[in-house]
Amino acid sequence: MKNKKKNIKFNNITQIIYSLIIIILLNIIGSFVYTRFDLTTEKRYSLSPATKTLLKKIDDIVYFKIYLEGDDFPAGFKRLSNSTKEMLDEFRAYNSNIQYEFINPNSITDKKQRNDLYKLLVEKGIQPTNLQVKGKGGSSQQVIFPGAEVSYKTQTMTLPLLMDQMGIESENVLNNSIQALEYNISNVIRKLSIKSKPKIAIIEGHGELNNYSMYDITSALSQYYQVERVRIDEKINKLTNRVISDTATTKISNIYKAIIIAKPDSAFSEKDKFIIDQYIMYGGKVLWLIDPVMASMDSLRNSTQTVGLTNELNLADQLFRYGVRLNTNLIMDISALQIPIVTGKVGNQPQTSFLPWYFFPIIMPTANHPIVKNLNAIKTEFVSSIDTIDNGIKKTILLTSSKYSRLVNTPAIIDLAILKKEPEERLYNKSFESVAVLLEGEFVSNFSNRMTSEISQSDKIGFLQKSKPTSMIIISDGDIIKSQFHYSKGYPLPLGYDQYTGQMFGNKEFILNCVNYLCDDSGLISVRSRELKLRMLDKTKIEKSKIQWQVINVVLPIVIVILFGFLMTFMRKHRYTR
């Protein structure tokens, strides 16, 4: 009996020693070999390869001041705050230069100092949100700032943490904001740490939008790229470089990573088309923002009616060859932007009402593509439908009209009188008409089999009949990239802001995502397609079975403990009575 007890004791001590040795060895190995295990289904705590590559390049402190802090936040904002901290911890696990602190602006007791901080944060671009907070003494209003200030070396930028999404429930907006954390944090680090900005060009010379109309988007793009405005003027070296090598051959390369053609209103010459075509053949990317129909609200200032006519740009054959047809029609949509209309007078004062203008569809992005995933609604003006052509090019529909839309072919009568009538739903029988399409692949030149041998075989011209793998985006609305001008002072407003309704739409983010997708070699934009499942409880079921679950949670553990006690007592008596 004594030997048996000694053996048991010896075995226990041996197991403890072995366990300690294994733990020590694992710690030693862990200090040399770094690894992390993410056991969640959607890989919630795993960073993408693009983000890891970005973090490897950071050689100095990136400091985050997060102003989303407070003890009495609603559950959703606490989750956003905690998720932000967890994501930053993930970033810091791969690079210790990522540092952060959480600041509660409401913790300042001095009212003047607190208001001064509020004002400073707003001036920096961190917008406040008002919350209804329930406390012991009842409900109260609380101002929070769901944003951060990010500093790297000599630069500082702001980082919004809460997304703007029209028509989306607050819980889903919070979940989408959490989904976007990795991309938004990576994106701001990318903007702060970029050393050499690639060049992009905004094409001029065909009546495109001027710099004033594109001031806000140009400023936003300048954080990523060197933005130049270029007139082609039928000069072949405007978009490509031609260098004669030692062997007397001409080496041709593109000057610009991408070009933007924004709302032209006059025809392209065949030479300009050829230069753009060959730019694409050499791997160039293009963002086309084309109005197939000429229509403007300016024509309705002095009249209640105008006509939308075909916009003769001489681009139809080229875009058809690449894989799309821009139809000469206008989309009318039940989901439309409201515009101010004088509907009467009160005394001598005009009475203004806001009525839906069906020629200005509001597009709700629904595709799962990283360009448009979780974007806010996008406003359009006199937009047309797009058909895709089967030509072997990969096509992804990015934006469509709503389920209730209709098509009006040119010449299209545009009459303010429709504002006074309720729309007849039977007429709005066209659903999900395409208005933005991504094309990817190897494109056939629009000038294939059309050139003389003198041109097609010229080493200086370097004509290519088929492109390198490349991509382009075609949008059938030039106004989607155009800023409104302040109605009294005339300065350009932020892209996507509608000064009449006071709403902020997702136009700027959409254009930035388009250009970043076309130009992104790192794959960082793909992080936007990350999806975290929102496992929400059924509130109706909770209310119905509230008492039941309270009883189960309170009583069941006690019953289990009592049963376990009885079982242990029974087993002990049974053992020692033998």
Kindly report the pTM of this predicted structure. Answer: 0.81
pLDDT recorded at residue 454: 78
Angle between helices 170-179 and 181-193 (to 10 degrees): 50
Distance CA 505, CA 378 (A): 5
- Residue bearing the bigger pLDDT, 77 or 350: 77
Please tell me the CATH code under which domain 49-192 is placed: 3.40.30
Tell whether the model's pLDDT for residue 578 goes beyond 60. Answer: no
Tell whether the model's pLDDT for residue 195 goes beyond 90. Answer: no
**40-68 confidence digits (pLDDT tens):** 555 566 788 889 999 999 999 999 999 98
Distances in Å between the Cα of 490 and the Cα atoms of 114, 320, 341, 486 are 34, 39, 20, 5
**264-275 confidence digits (pLDDT tens):** 999 999 999 999
pLDDT recorded at residue 128: 86
pLDDT band for position 353 (50/70/90)?
Answer: confident
Which distant-in-sequence residues (6+ apart) come within 8 Å of 287 by Cβ? Answer: 258, 259, 260, 261, 472, 473, 475, 511, 514, 515, 518
294 with 309: CB under 8 angstroms? Answer: yes
Mean confidence (pLDDT) of the chain: 87
Beginning with the edge strand found earlier in the chain, give each strand of the sheet holding 378-379 in spatial order: 336-346, 349-363, 378-379
**390-425 confidence digits (pLDDT tens):** 999 999 999 999 999 999 999 999 999 898 888 888
Distances in Å between the Cα of 157 and the Cα atoms of 147, 153, 193, 224, 506 are 11, 11, 11, 13, 20
**498-526 confidence digits (pLDDT tens):** 999 999 999 999 999 999 999 987 778 87
pLDDT recorded at residue 323: 96
Distance CA 370, CA 339 (A): 31
pLDDT recorded at residue 3: 60
Tell whether the model's pLDDT for residue 170 goes beyond 60. Answer: yes
Burial of 385 (0-12, 13-18, 19+ CB in 10 A): buried
Of the candidates 97, 102, 99, 98, the one whose C-alpha atom is nearest the C-alpha of residue 66 is 102
Give the mean model confidence (pLDDT) for residues 155-179: 83
pLDDT recorded at residue 349: 75
Please tell me the CATH code under which domain 198-529 is placed: 3.40.50
pLDDT recorded at residue 23: 84
Ranges 337-346, 375-384, 562-571, most confident: 375-384
CA 129 to chain centre: 21
**476-488 confidence digits (pLDDT tens):** 999 999 999 998 8
pLDDT recorded at residue 565: 81
pLDDT recorded at residue 379: 96
pLDDT recorded at residue 248: 67
Distances in Å between the Cα of 210 and the Cα atoms of 141, 201, 236, 492 are 44, 13, 23, 12
Distances in Å between the Cα of 542 and the Cα atoms of 77, 196, 536 are 21, 55, 11
Tell whether the model's pLDDT for residue 253 goes beyond 90. Answer: yes
- Angle (CA) 21-26-30 rounded to 5° is 150
**101-155 confidence digits (pLDDT tens):** 999 888 888 888 888 988 998 888 888 888 765 655 556 677 888 999 999 999 9
Lowest mean pLDDT among 299-303, 442-446, 467-471, 495-499: 299-303
pLDDT recorded at residue 467: 95
pLDDT recorded at residue 134: 60
201 with 225: CB under 8 angstroms? Answer: no
Give the mean model confidence (pLDDT) for residues 382-388: 97
pLDDT recorded at residue 302: 82
Domain ranges of the chain: 1-35, 49-192, 198-529
DSSP 334: S
